[in-house]
Amino acid sequence: MKRLITVLLLVITGFFSRMHADEGMWLLPLIEKLNIGKMTELGLKLTAEDIYSINKASLKDAIVIFGGGCTGEIVSAQGLLLTNHHCGYGQIQNHSSVEHDYLKDGFWAMTKEEELPNPGLSVTFLIRVEDVTAQVLAAVKDGMSENDRNTAINEARMAIQRKATEGTWYSATVSSFYNGNQFYLFVYERYNDVRLVGAPPSSIGKFGFDTDNWEWPRHTGDFSVFRVYTGPDGKPAPYSKDNIPLKPKHYLPVSIKDLNKGDFAMILGYPGRTMRYYTSYEVDELLKITHPNRIKIRGIRQDILMADMQADPKINIQYASKYSNSSNYWKYSIGQKAGLERLNVKAKKEETENQFNKWVNADAGRKEKYGEALSLIKNATEKRAEYANAQQYISECFSQGCEILQLSQIASALITAMKSGDQKRLSDLSDNIKKNIAESFYKDYNAPTDKKAVKAMMKLYRDDVPSKFHPDFYVNIVDKKFKGDIDKFVDDMFARSVLSDQAKLIAFLDKPNQKILENDPVYLTSNSISKISTEVSNNLRQYDQDLTRGRRLWMAALMEMTPDKTQYPDANSTMRLTYGQVLDYDPRDGVTYKYYTTLKGVMEKYKPGDYEFDVPQKQIDLYNRKVYGRYASPKGFLPVCFTTNNDITGGNSGSPVINGNGELIGLAFDGNWEAMSGDVAFEPDLQRTIVVDIRYVLWVMDIYAGARHLVDEMTVVM
């Protein structure tokens, strides 16, 4: 009987361990040593070298950094690339107009000649990773100040990067891990000709918009399609009509086989940032400063933008991407703040700190080595609080909240050119501004909308931020000239500035005048803000050394304190792998969420004419006739999304979700509301990745959009 009970306990323990997410975003070169055994148990059929290799084609050769903050994957021998709709949203918006509204109607290139170039967009492939910790720390000596330590480290990093790229067109970065305790070299290859191939209408690609963002059940077809091009020689090249589609080292086959609970799932991508080793003091800063500020400031501005967007189709196109970029992390902050409080994360961090204090004080050597770690973090975090608060308000209210102030950089450049007395320099600069300003700024700018936002942001800053952090334009101009009336001040600024209107700026450039520009109200206001911003930043920097040292010691202590636990590094925008399973979850008592959603759920959420939940008529017709093609589940429905227990964060958007055979089964695009605290504290019972099912992606391409030629490019596994 005892033996039977023991066996049952082992089975039950094994079962429940598989039901938990496997915490960690792992470095690819370490998979063989740390992860391959567990991954194989869960259903992986590949070797570690099939995933990451510098000697042969592997999965990592199909994964790219898409733009500056997403992930994408190559899915054909002709460089076809998939990423999220919200990752390609800026490019889709940039190509849209009232006459050709690709945000509303979608876009599909039926030939390669119809594919649309995207200046400034690039994709980046990982070539190799190398542990260079010993080289980076070779010149670091005990007793060094943080400044001297950083100088020695940065000199070593630069030398390693130069050596790694000599004689190549590659780029290289030495990245810090474990808060400066380890360092790895990443060598990359970048391609700059990336063309838009297809995108569903936003009523599919962003179905649910803000209401459904970070939520499950989800029904969003969050994907877009691009193609990578090379020069005729196969090497990276700027856009040219003579370029040819990329011939990748590896591309992902696509599986349309049915998914079941417990199926193996791994994700490769570029997670941006996690803070899993934050202390209670840093969590407190998130709860009291970072999240409340972001929620309040962005919420006010977003309401202004949305009102104008809904009133005018042109403004909707102009501000769609800006609004989306703002609202995503606005809602993230709402969710993370609530999650940190609900799950009592600060108290859990304090428990770890209490364990640390007992451990470190039990040994004189430990106390000497690590004893100051927590006090350094605590003192720096608490003393910098007022400056961190002011800096965030400066960034959110002025830098991000007042678009017109961005143009002060043009004024500064023009003034510098005029002061130089070099007429050719001034003429060339003026011509360049004329040539590029419409596309770079005014194309997606509406002055009346911005004026409303500027008024709100300037009032909010004055009301919420202590007067010692106020830019002097409040007293010197708003109070003295406009008797404290911010509305009148802003009206005057927009009326008089040569920067507030494209035609006015171009007319000024035809006859530039230094005195006019030096007295321009936008230029003067921006300079006033810049002065206080510099002052705040300088005050913040005085705590950087203690905070950096404290975090490094804290991380090193945690690794030494728990030697049996493999500590994975925080995300830092380098390629990582996370593995787990297709799973449902229980968000609260008495409620279980299935691991998949279907097209039926789209129709249940459908609200005719609603900007978040409208559905294209063609999609309704196809649903009513049950035209699902080969993409239907054997159970009779068309799958839309599913959940896994993989460990992801921002930057993983667009990442491939891959089965045990190395085949693409979906695109990761979100996390779930119940585990929004996950960037700070992983929640194994709740943490889920929300994925758009590749079968829905292909159905939209093939049957909804009629772009079967794109599916035919792929290797589809049935």
pLDDT tens, residue by residue, 322-335: 999 999 999 999 99
* Residue-range domains of the chain with CATH: 20-122+192-275+570-717 (2.40.10.120), 124-191 (no CATH), 403-542 (no CATH)
List CB contacts of 173: < 8 A, sequence separation 6 or more.
161, 185, 186, 188
β pairing state of 116-117 and 656-658? unpaired
β pairing state of 182-191 and 123-131? antiparallel
Query: 657: which 2 tokens?
Result: 């979700």
3 versus 388: the higher-pLDDT residue is: 388
- Judged by DSSP in three states, 142 sits in coil
Question: Residue 359: is it exposed, middle or buried by C-beta count within 10 angstroms (0-12/13-18/19+)?
Answer: middle
Say if CB 262 and CB 18 are below 8 A apart: yes
**Which of these, 334, 377, 331, lies nearest to 352 by C-alpha position?**
377
- Judged by DSSP in three states, 73 sits in strand
Which one-letter amino acid corresponds to residue 184?
Y
Chain mean position to CA 129: 22
Taking 80 as the threshold, does the pLDDT of residue 411 lie above it?
yes
From 96, 653, 655, 677, active-site residue: 653
Query: 213: which 2 tokens?
Result: 């963002």
Query: 105: which 2 tokens?
Result: 């109607």
Say if CB 602 and CB 640 are below 8 A apart: yes
Say if CB 701 and CB 710 are below 8 A apart: yes
From 22, 61, 210, 222, active-site residue: 222
**CB count, 10 Å around CB of 167?**
5
Please give the Cα distance from 337 to 247 (Å, whole number).
45
- Angle, to 10 degrees, between the axis of helix 313-342 and the axis of helix 345-361? 50
**Which H or E run includes 553?**
helix 544-561
Task: Assess whether 95 carries a catalytic annotation.
Answer: no
**Which of these, 570, 565, 572, 632, lies nearest to 599 by C-alpha position?**
632
Say if CB 517 and CB 523 are below 8 A apart: yes
CA dihedral 589, 595, 597, 598 (to 10 degrees): -130
Task: Assess whether 463 carries a catalytic annotation.
Answer: no
**Which of these, 553, 543, 542, lies nearest to 374 by C-alpha position?**
553
Residue with tokens 């590659």: 170
Question: Residue 328: is it exposed, middle or buried by C-beta count within 10 angstroms (0-12/13-18/19+)?
Answer: middle
β pairing state of 596-598 and 182-191? unpaired
Task: Assess whether 222 carries a catalytic annotation.
Answer: yes
pLDDT tens, residue by residue, 595-634: 999 999 999 999 999 999 999 999 999 999 999 999 999 9
Say if CB 667 and CB 82 are below 8 A apart: yes
Taking 70 as the threshold, does the pLDDT of residue 310 lie above it?
yes
11 versus 32: the higher-pLDDT residue is: 32
Please give the Cα distance from 581 to 659 (Å, whole number).
9
Say if CB 567 and CB 510 are below 8 A apart: no
β pairing state of 224-230 and 63-66? unpaired
Residue with tokens 């975003």: 25
Please give the Cα distance from 216 to 121 (Å, whole number).
31
Taking 80 as the threshold, does the pLDDT of residue 95 lie above it?
yes
Per-residue confidence (pLDDT) for residue 242, from 0 to 100: 97
User: For 482-500, what is the mean pLDDT?
Assistant: 97
Per-residue confidence (pLDDT) for residue 17, from 0 to 100: 37
Taking 60 as the threshold, does the pLDDT of residue 14 lie above it?
no
Query: 119: which 2 tokens?
Result: 């200046």
Say if CB 77 and CB 246 are below 8 A apart: no
Global model pTM greater than 0.85: yes
Please give the Cα distance from 230 to 416 (Å, whole number).
39
User: For 271-290, what is the mean pLDDT?
Assistant: 98
Say if CB 267 and CB 575 are below 8 A apart: no
Angle, alpha carbons 487-396-520 (nearest 5°)? 50
The percentage of the chain sitting over the pLDDT mark of 90, rounded to a whole number, equals 95
pLDDT tens, residue by residue, 648-707: 999 999 999 999 999 999 999 999 999 999 999 999 999 999 999 999 999 999 999 999
Distances (CA, A) of 563 to 178, 558, 559: 15, 8, 6
- Judged by DSSP in three states, 716 sits in strand
Per-residue confidence (pLDDT) for residue 268, from 0 to 100: 98
Per-residue confidence (pLDDT) for residue 680, from 0 to 100: 97
List CB contacts of 554: < 8 A, sequence separation 6 or more.
179, 277, 279, 370, 373, 374, 377
Taking 50 as the threshold, does the pLDDT of residue 232 lie above it?
yes
